[in-house]
């Protein structure tokens, strides 16, 4: 229970919980082999499944005249390829398109869960998920930067290799 037991909605703007730690606890829905499964984890898997299904059913049959759904998915792919990839990264961005598209659609679907009836919970509202996605993107950026500049990651991490 997140809201306080007794909340006077007419006089109080925000109902304050009795215990602030209730805002940071994730209620366990069920347990599988000792692992607690929360609503956030289920919605993350659902968002990943929705992204895979959208891309599979939208792009599986290339037609000369695409269906409305296929044209919509091709429009999203074109937006990520041109508007995000080519305009920000440059002409060599096509090799990063699968990662950019997966990240874009996962965040989009996860945020659309907020306005989805019976869900009403954006998965990116938990701080750990955007932080993890940004750290993965940052490390990909750093490692690719080192490889494009010609530095070997072993030389940077192990200075004794430079002495040889």
* pLDDT tens per residue across span 58-107: 988 888 888 999 999 999 999 999 998 999 888 888 889 999 999 999 99
Give this prediction's pTM.
Answer: 0.75
Decide if 155 is inside a domain.
yes
Q: 103 or 144, which is more confident?
A: 103
Decide if 80 is inside a domain.
yes
> How remote is the C-alpha of 31 from its chain's centroid?
24
Kindly state the average pLDDT of the residues 141-150: 79
Decide if 113 is inside a domain.
yes
Decide if 59 is inside a domain.
yes
CA distance linking residue 46 with residue 40, whole number of Å: 10
Kindly state the average pLDDT of the residues 140-153: 76
Q: How many structural domains compose the chain?
A: 1
CA distance linking residue 56 with residue 58, whole number of Å: 6
pLDDT score recorded for residue 4: 44
Decide if 129 is inside a domain.
yes
Kindly state the average pLDDT of the residues 101-125: 92
For residue 72, what are the domain limits?
Answer: 38-163
Decide if 24 is inside a domain.
no
Residue % of the chain over a pLDDT of 70: 77
Contact 97, 81 (CB under 8 A): yes
Residue 1 clears pLDDT 50, i.e. is over it = no
Q: List the single range of 60-69, 106-115, 133-142, 146-155 with lowest mean pLDDT.
A: 146-155
Confidence of residue 2 (pLDDT cuts 50, 70, 90): very low
Decide if 120 is inside a domain.
yes
Kindly state the average pLDDT of the residues 10-36: 74
Residue % of the chain over a pLDDT of 90: 38
Contacts of 58 (CB under 8 A, 6+ apart): 69, 70, 72, 73, 74
Decide if 74 is inside a domain.
yes
pLDDT score recorded for residue 3: 42
């Amino acid at each position: 229970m997140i809201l306080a037991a007794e909340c006077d909605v007419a006089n109080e703007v925000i109902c304050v919980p009795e215990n602030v730690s209730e805002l940071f606890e994730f209620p366990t829905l069920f347990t599988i082999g000792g692992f607690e499964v929360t609503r956030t984890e289920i919605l993350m898997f659902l968002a990943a499944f929705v992204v895979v299904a959208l891309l599979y059913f939208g792009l599986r049959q290339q037609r000369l005249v695409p269906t409305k759904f296929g044209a919509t998915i091709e429009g999203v792919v074109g937006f990520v390829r041109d508007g995000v990839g080519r305009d920000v990264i440059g002409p060599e961005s096509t090799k990063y398109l699968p990662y950019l598209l997966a990240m874009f659609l996962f965040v989009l679907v996860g945020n659309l869960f907020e306005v989805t009836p019976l869900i009403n919970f954006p998965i990116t509202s938990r701080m750990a998920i955007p932080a993890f996605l940004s750290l993965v993107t940052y490390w990909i950026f750093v490692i690719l930067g080192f490889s494009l500049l010609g530095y070997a990651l072993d030389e940077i991490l192990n200075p004794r290799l430079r002495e040889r």
